[in-house]
């Protein structure tokens, strides 16, 4: 059984009753376990069902083990998984769904579902990709589930990989030091900090000693965002073609298409480029304007970003790009 003083407590987050709940950080601290336990209790008490959401079907290959750990806390309760349907005491309690294929069955109905648990919604490895237009795809799926009901809530669970992701860009969000609630949009973000006892316990393990002093230790134990430092950052040396130059907040960057099909962003620009764009009136000058090609540049950024195919010269350039994306929405 989990030690409640060491692992994540849902009660503060639940007290806000937010529509969208982003729970970040706290790797191994029991976010998924806690949400599973709450979903089971709610079903046993009210009969309300849940959806366990992942991005791709391949991430559901071990779904038959969904109840293995948490079932030990429920004596006398029978758990089963058949295909992608969860059963508790022989009754349908929930469904496992892959977001990438969820909208192929728009006629599917979930009248008893009141919670969507989107596990590992943040991507760490660059060889994985967010779904194109993923936030909008999720919203469409959410609406399919809710169908005008106001009791459905979504929980996005992610480790401390990056706050620069399509959802935060789409909703113009930033990660708070602790917890933030947007009462107008019913969005909550909780940056879960590992408890002192949890960090000490993890550091005392042989694995904790192995990773001591590494970047991974900062991510896994100290809850620092992993890919906000070096992920997708590299000095590209190959062949590339300049497609656009952008000026924002008096800072300028160039967008280059590489021979490998990536979008490389760096401080190398050419004012002779026919697509020199300013995103604000304050940045307009003799070289940069608010012309028609602004839409082309915005769509270019969106397309590559949603495929996870953008690489950055350095963290300074990366932050400029995310400032742009917050303006255009991705």
Give pLDDT, residue 1: 39
| Domains (range + CATH), the chain | 11-220 (3.40.50), 240-328 (no CATH)
Neighbouring residues of 312: CB distance < 8 A, sequence distance ≥ 6: 232, 233, 234, 264, 265, 266, 318, 321
For the segment 309-329, what is each residue's pLDDT rounded down to a tens digit?
Answer: 999 998 778 878 877 887 776
Give pLDDT, residue 8: 84
d(CA 117, CA 21): 10
For the segment 202-231, what is each residue's pLDDT rounded down to a tens digit?
Answer: 566 775 666 566 644 444 444 455 445 567
Give pLDDT, residue 272: 92
Alpha-helical (H) ranges within the chain are 11-14, 31-46, 99-102, 134-146, 166-170, 196-204, 206-210, 215-220, 294-306, 315-328
Give pLDDT, residue 292: 61
Give pLDDT, residue 273: 92
For the segment 157-200, what is each residue's pLDDT rounded down to a tens digit?
Answer: 987 656 667 888 788 787 888 899 999 999 999 988 654 554 56
d(CA 298, CA 244): 10
Q: For the chain, list residues with pLDDT below 50.
A: 1-3, 195, 198, 215-223, 226-227
Give pLDDT, residue 12: 93
Cα distances from 124 to residues 146, 172, 216, in angstroms, run 30, 20, 12
Q: Is the dihedral of CA 78, 79, 81, 84 positive or negative?
A: positive
């Amino acid at each position: 059984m989990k030690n409640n003083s060491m692992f994540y407590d849902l009660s503060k987050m639940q007290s806000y009753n937010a529509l969208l709940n982003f729970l970040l950080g706290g790797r191994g601290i029991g976010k998924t376990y806690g949400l599973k336990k709450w979903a089971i209790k709610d079903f046993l008490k009210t009969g309300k069902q849940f959806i366990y959401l992942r991005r791709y079907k391949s991430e559901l290959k071990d779904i038959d083990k969904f109840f293995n750990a948490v079932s030990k806390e429920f004596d006398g309760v029978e758990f089963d998984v058949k295909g992608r349907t969860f059963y508790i005491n022989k009754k349908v309690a929930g469904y496992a769904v892959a977001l990438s294929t969820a909208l192929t069955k728009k006629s599917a109905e979930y009248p008893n579902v009141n919670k969507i648990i989107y596990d590992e919604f943040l991507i760490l490895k660059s060889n994985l990709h967010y779904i194109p237009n993923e936030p909008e795809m999720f919203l469409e799926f959410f609406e399919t589930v809710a169908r005008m009901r106001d009791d459905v809530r979504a929980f996005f669970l992610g480790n401390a990989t990056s706050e620069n992701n399509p959802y935060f860009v789409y909703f113009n969000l930033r990660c708070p030091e602790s917890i933030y609630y947007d009462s107008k949009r019913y969005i909550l973000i909780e940056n879960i900090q590992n408890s002192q006892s949890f960090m000490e316990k993890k550091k005392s393990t042989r694995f904790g000693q192995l990773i001591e002093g590494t970047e991974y230790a900062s991510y896994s134990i100290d809850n620092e965002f992993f890919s906000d430092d070096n992920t997708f950052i590299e000095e590209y040396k190959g062949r590339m073609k300049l497609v656009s130059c952008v000026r924002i907040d008096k800072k300028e960057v160039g967008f280059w298409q590489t021979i490998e099909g990536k979008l490389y962003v760096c401080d190398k620009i050419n004012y002779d480029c026919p697509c020199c764009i300013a995103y604000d009136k304050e940045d307009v000058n003799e070289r940069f304007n608010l012309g028609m090609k602004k839409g082309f540049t915005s769509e270019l950024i969106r397309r590559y970003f949603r495929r996870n195919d953008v690489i950055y010269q350095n963290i300074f350039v990366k932050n400029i790009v995310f400032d742009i994306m917050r303006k255009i929405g991705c």
